[in-house]
Amino acid sequence: GGGPIVLGIESSCDETGAGIVRDGQLLAHVVASSMDEHARFGGVVPEIAARAHLQSFNPVVRQALDQAGLRLGQLDAVAVTTGPGLSGALQVGLAGAKSLAYAAGVPLYGVHHLAGHVAADTLEHGPLPAPCVVLIVSGGHTSLLLVRDLVREPIAHLGDTLDDAAGECFDKAARILGLPYPGGPAIDRAARDGDPRAVEFPRPLTRAGDDPYAFSFSGLKTAVARWAEKHRLQGADLPVADGAAALQEAVADVLSRKALAACAAYGVRTLVVVGGVAANSRVRALTERRCAAAGVELRVPPMTLCTDNGAMIAAVGDLLVRAGAEPAPLDVSIDPSAPL
Ligand code: KG4
Ligand code: ZN
Residue 331 lies in a domain: no
Determine whether the annotation assigns residue 157 to a binding site: no
Average pLDDT, stretch 228-242? Answer: 94
Query: What spacing in Å lies between the alpha carbon of 138 and ligand 1's midpoint?
Result: 5
Query: CA-CA distance, 130 to 150, in Å (whole number)?
Result: 9
Same domain, yes or no: 176 and 216: yes
Q: Walk across the sheet containing 132-137 and list its strands.
A: 156-160, 142-147, 132-137, 270-274, 297-299
pLDDT at 87: 96
Residue 96 lies in a domain: yes
Residue 333 lies in a domain: no
Q: Whose CA is nearest to atom 8 of ligand 1?
A: 276
Average pLDDT, stretch 31-54? Answer: 90
Same domain, yes or no: 76 and 165: no
Q: Which residues line ligand 1 (CB under 6 A)?
A: 13, 138-140, 167-168, 170-171, 182-185, 188, 275-277, 279-280, 307-308
Residue percentage of the chain with pLDDT more than 90: 89
Q: Residue 41: is its pLDDT beyond 90?
A: no
- Mark the residues whose beta carbon lies below 5 A from ion ligand 2: 308
Amino acid identity, residue 291?
Answer: C
Quickly count: other Cβ atoms within 10 Å of residue 287's Cβ. Answer: 24
Determine whether the annotation assigns residue 105 to a binding site: no
pLDDT one-digit tens code per residue, 7-21: 999 999 999 999 999
Pocket test for ligand 1, best of 136, 254, 277 (most atoms within 8 A of CB): 277
pLDDT at 236: 86
Same domain, yes or no: 158 and 79: no
Residue 337 lies in a domain: no
pLDDT one-digit tens code per residue, 312-333: 999 999 999 999 999 999 899 9
**C-beta separation of 171 from 181 below 8 A:** yes
Query: Closest-lying ligand to the alpha carbon of 114?
Result: 2
Residue percentage of the chain with pLDDT more than 70: 99
- H/E segment holding residue 191: helix 183-191
Same domain, yes or no: 175 and 97: no
pLDDT at 248: 97
Average pLDDT, stretch 226-254? Answer: 96
Same domain, yes or no: 109 and 187: no
Same domain, yes or no: 175 and 116: no
- H/E segment holding residue 10: strand 5-10
Distance of CA 217 to the CA centre of its chain: 17
Alpha carbon of 210 to those of 129, 149, 267: distances in Å?
29, 29, 21
- Total number of domains constituting the chain: 2
Residue 70 lies in a domain: yes
Same domain, yes or no: 79 and 226: no
Look at the alpha carbons of 120, 137, 206, 248 in this order and tell me if their dihedral is positive or negative: positive
Same domain, yes or no: 138 and 197: yes
pLDDT one-digit tens code per residue, 195-220: 999 999 999 999 999 999 999 999 99
Residue 287 belongs to domain spanning: 127-300
Residue 340 lies in a domain: no
Query: CA-CA distance, 278 to 221, in Å (whole number)?
Result: 19
Average pLDDT, stretch 128-151? Answer: 94
> Kind of pairing, strands 270-274 and 297-299?
parallel
What values do phi and psi take at 143, rounded to 5?
-130, 140
Same domain, yes or no: 216 and 234: yes
Same domain, yes or no: 169 and 45: no
pLDDT band per the 50, 70, 90 thresholds, residue 340: low
pLDDT band per the 50, 70, 90 thresholds, residue 230: very high
Q: Whose CA is nearest to atom 13 of ligand 1?
A: 184
Does the ipTM surpass 0.85?
A: yes
Q: Whose CA is nearest to atom 14 of ligand 1?
A: 184
Query: What spacing in Å lies between the alpha carbon of 98 and ligand 1's midpoint?
Result: 30
pLDDT at 206: 97
In DSSP notation, 275-313 reads SGGGG-HHHHHHHHHHHHHHT-EEE---HHHHSS-HHHH
- Note the pTM of the prediction, 2 decimals: 0.92
pLDDT at 256: 98
pLDDT one-digit tens code per residue, 274-305: 998 999 999 999 999 999 999 999 999 999 99
Q: Residue 44: is its pLDDT beyond 90?
A: no
Determine whether the annotation assigns residue 136 to a binding site: yes
Same domain, yes or no: 93 and 114: yes
Average pLDDT, the chain: 95
pLDDT one-digit tens code per residue, 46-87: 999 999 999 999 999 999 999 999 999 999 999 999 999 999
Same domain, yes or no: 272 and 221: yes
Atom of ligand 1 nearest to the CA of 167: 12
Q: Residue 273: is its pLDDT beyond 70?
A: yes
Q: At what angle do helices 310-322 and 113-120 cross, to 10 degrees?
A: 90
Which CATH number goes with the domain that contains 228?
A: 3.30.420.40
What torsion, rounded to 10 degrees, do the Cα atoms 273, 143, 303, 79 define?
A: 110
More confident residue, 276 or 134: 134
**Which residues fall within 8 angstroms of residue 340, CB to CB, at 6 or more apart?**
112, 114, 145, 154, 155, 156, 157
> Kind of pairing, strands 156-160 and 270-274?
unpaired
Determine whether the annotation assigns residue 188 to a binding site: yes
